[in-house]
């Protein structure tokens, strides 16, 4: 077996394992950043904030949107 070819294959496998490990460890933090940015853009586009409430605890008057 050629040493250069073997070490190159080992380097490729190690690189793939490293990228996979970094993606596994950092996924939740990266996803959180994207979710925060999406929420911020949503709130800037929609001036009305809708909060889910149980029907029995809801108060106010319903507006008809036409």
pLDDT tens digits along 18-49: 999 999 999 999 999 999 988 888 777 766 66
Cα–Cα distance, 53 to 10 (Å, whole number): 56
pTM over 0.95: no
Domain limits of the chain? 3-54
Cα–Cα distance, 26 to 16 (Å, whole number): 15
pLDDT tens digits along 50-63: 778 787 777 777 67
| CA 24 to each of CA 10, 38, 41: distance values in angstroms, whole numbers, following the listed order | 21, 22, 27
49 neighbors 43 (Cβ within 8 angstroms): yes
Cα–Cα distance, 44 to 39 (Å, whole number): 9
pLDDT at 25: 94
């Amino acid at each position: 077996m050629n040493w250069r070819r073997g070490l190159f294959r080992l380097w490729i496998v190690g690189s793939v394992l490293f990228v996979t490990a970094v993606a596994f460890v950092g996924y939740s933090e990266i996803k959180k950043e994207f979710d925060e940015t999406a929420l911020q853009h949503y709130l800037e586009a929609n001036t009305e904030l809708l909060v889910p409430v149980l029907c029995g605890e809801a108060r106010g008057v319903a507006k008809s949107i036409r």
